[in-house]
Structure 1
Amino acid sequence: MPSPRRGGGTARYLLTKLGGAVISLFMVVVLGFILFRVMPGDPVKTMTRGHPVTNEQLAILEHRYGLDKPKIAQFWDYLVKLLHGDFGDSYQYSRPVGDMILEKLWPTVLLVGTGTILAVALGLWLGTRAAWQRNSVFDKASTGIALAFWSMPTFWLGMILLTAAGGLFPSGGMVYPDTPPDFLSQALDILHHLVLPVITLVAVVYAQYQLVMRSSLLEEMDADYLTTARAKGLRDDLVRRRHAVPNALLPTVTLVFLHLGMVVAGAITVEAVFSWPGLGQMTYNAIGVPDLPVLQGTFIVLAAAVLVMNLIADVLYRFLDPRVRAV
């Protein structure tokens, strides 16, 4: 009898989380539509800036993009297209937004994914060492440095790195135009371009993982099971690695997966500073028009990625933490 109840509880838990994610995504769609419609600026006038156009021509463009309809009609058209996987066409480039997102997705995943993986590894290692050596010189120094980097504006740090190391590393782009087309040359050139933006991302992000890991591990330090492990004669590093760290990792699961969701959206400021051809730079360029379909498309992709990763974190919690399964 206990097994069916556990299975039923798990199914109910998963359906509840899934339903919440769907409702949240719908609210994001509504919010994104309203938010970008109240932005200052006229897309049609921006697109025709510098060109002699008549009021009739402006009206034709507004009709073409559906901007002459009432807001509720515009939202209904947008929702119907979205349900069919159509994000609309870019005002600026007259291309399907879905194709543009797929085109820019790989550079963003490469940049922010690399930065996120390095930040997680560095933050968890420093947080573990700092907690295990609490109040030591290493703990105070590493925590202070992490807080200093975390408080820096990302664009400001990126510009400092450009000024300091711009001669050693490329200042923008993803690859030089004259790089040979073979795989090795292209890969080395991309790695060369990755150095400064990845350092910028890691420096700003790793502090979150370090501080959360440090706090979680400090809560485990005086637990009875660690005292028992030491009483059995286990070395201090084995007690930390086999017992304390696995339990302290649980609170960081949600944080890690939320940041993995942010990988899809990219870091707008970093991509803008380093002219990295990803979703972030595309979003930054679309704000100036404003290119509503591009802004709405990237906004929904960001929200969907965060919701999916949060859902995965909730499912993992169900299996990793007995306290969640008992609910």
Structure 2
Amino acid sequence: MSSATGAETGPAGASANGAAAASATGKPASTAPRRRSGGTYPRYVAGKLAGAAVSLFAVLVTSFFLFRLIPGDPVKFMTGGRPVSAEQLAAYRSDFGLDLPMWQQFTDYCLKALTGDLGTSYQFHAPVIDKISEALPNTLLLTGTAFVLYTALGAFLGTRSAWRHGGPGDRFHTGLALTLYSIPSFWLGLLLIIVLSVGVDPIPGLFPTGGMESGREEGFAHVLDVAHHLVLPVVTLVAVEYGQTLLVTRSALLDEMGSDYLTTARAKGLRDDLVRRRHAVPNALLPTVTLVFVNLGRTVAGVILVETVFSWPGLGGLFYQALSVPDLPLVQGLFFVFAAAVILMNTLADLLYPMLDPRVGR
């Protein structure tokens, strides 16, 4: 009750102090604070945007130099294993700019990236941005569906577990979440393929072993076919990822549960579910919002191992293909897109924080 009273009387006390300061100095006491308050959020936004720009440039530099450490000669891959002369190899290298000094290759790469040109794929002989655009919808379908499911499931179960912490349900859900979160996604995917695709007596094979479609269906039957192929990879991602959201939500809510304002709300006669929904959960949102935005950025990247295990034709599978060559322009372009998505989502989360908690950015 004392905290509520302080909240009600605080502005009045501040006004009295402000009036006294104004009479002593002859100037309005609230002018300077208003100016600082008005300019703080734009400076906060500018700082976050500048940090994001620096991070993107760092990713651009890293993506160029890192993948040049991969062993293998992309020019020999482009010849398809056929015997070729040194002159032909030199011509290939010249066509793709691999004969230029490293600094010049890097400069050309950065200048083209600023215009959206990520180069030409060695193995597909097509612009990298076109290959990314082709595979992106498939990745968004898979990881976007899984993202919605594991975020909703994790937040709901995390809230329930925290509010009834120490009970049988809390112990069960926390233990299951920790177990599944520690399981490698590719191992769980292979296990689901063996049990639910190939079939283990007495369980028959119910789902396809991989791919996105059978290729024989049209119209609504095609939609059902894609959904049928989608089940196992989505189940794999949800099983592995929901535990993280559950644990973060549970921990944040537990930190709030001992706060004075919740005691005050209960003392006013509010029902327990209203105290949870209207007071505790909104104030515990910041860590969960951070995790949601990070996972949303990862949605663009997809999950390389899961897409590879289930032969899903998305960005993750494309990245695995590019690494095996190595197809340097394609690997660099995908790496940059993956990192840029995460940086963008983190920046958006930072910009949203002051709206959720006025103390942030002030």
Task: Using structure 2 for the length normalisation, give the TM-score.
Answer: 0.88
Correspondence 1:272 to 2:303: no
Partner of 1:249 in structure 2? 285
SS at match of 1:323: coil
Which stretches of structure 1, 4 residues or more, deviate above 4 A after TM superposition?
none
Partner of 1:31 in structure 2? 62
Partner of 1:185 in structure 2? 221
CA distance in 2, matches of 1:266, 1:116: 10
Correspondence 1:134 to 2:165: yes
Deviation at 1:4, TM superposition (A): 4.2
Partner of 1:226 in structure 2? 262
SS at match of 2:359: helix
Deviation at 1:261, TM superposition (A): 0.5
Contact 1:112–1:263 (8 Å) recurs in 2:
yes
Contact 2:158–2:247 (8 Å) recurs in 1:
yes
Contact 1:105–1:264 (8 Å) recurs in 2:
yes
CA deviations 1:137-165 (Å, max 9, x no partner) are: 11111111111111111100000011111
Partner of 1:156 in structure 2? 187
Partner of 2:81 in structure 1? 50
Correspondence 1:281 to 2:317: yes
Partner of 1:175 in structure 2? 213
Contact 1:172–1:274 (8 Å) recurs in 2:
yes
SS at match of 2:117: coil
C-alpha distance 69-325 of structure 1, shift in aligned 2 (>3 A) = closer
Contact 1:257–1:313 (8 Å) recurs in 2:
yes
Contact 1:158–1:273 (8 Å) recurs in 2:
yes
Deviation at 1:52, TM superposition (A): 2.0
CA deviations 1:131-190 (Å, max 9, x no partner) are: 11111111111111111111111100000011111121111111111012x2x2222111
The AA in structure 1 aligned to 2:177 is A
Partner of 1:114 in structure 2? 145
CA distance in 2, matches of 1:50, 1:298: 26
Partner of 1:308 in structure 2? 344
The AA in structure 1 aligned to 2:117 is D
Contact 2:266–2:275 (8 Å) recurs in 1:
yes
CA distance in 1, matches of 2:317, 2:186: 13
SS at match of 1:152: coil
CA deviations 1:27-64 (Å, max 9, x no partner) are: 00001101011111111112224212111111111111
What 5-or-longer segments of structure 1 have no aligned partner? none
Contact 2:307–2:313 (8 Å) recurs in 1:
yes
C-alpha distance 323-286 of structure 1, shift in aligned 2 (>3 A) = same
Task: Using structure 1 for the length normalisation, give the TM-score.
Answer: 0.97
Contact 1:119–1:205 (8 Å) recurs in 2:
yes
Partner of 2:295 in structure 1? 259
The AA in structure 1 aligned to 2:73 is D
**Percent identity over paired residues:** 59
Contact 1:120–1:256 (8 Å) recurs in 2:
yes
- What is the root-mean-square deviation of aligned Cα atoms in Å? 1.1
Contact 1:319–1:325 (8 Å) recurs in 2:
no
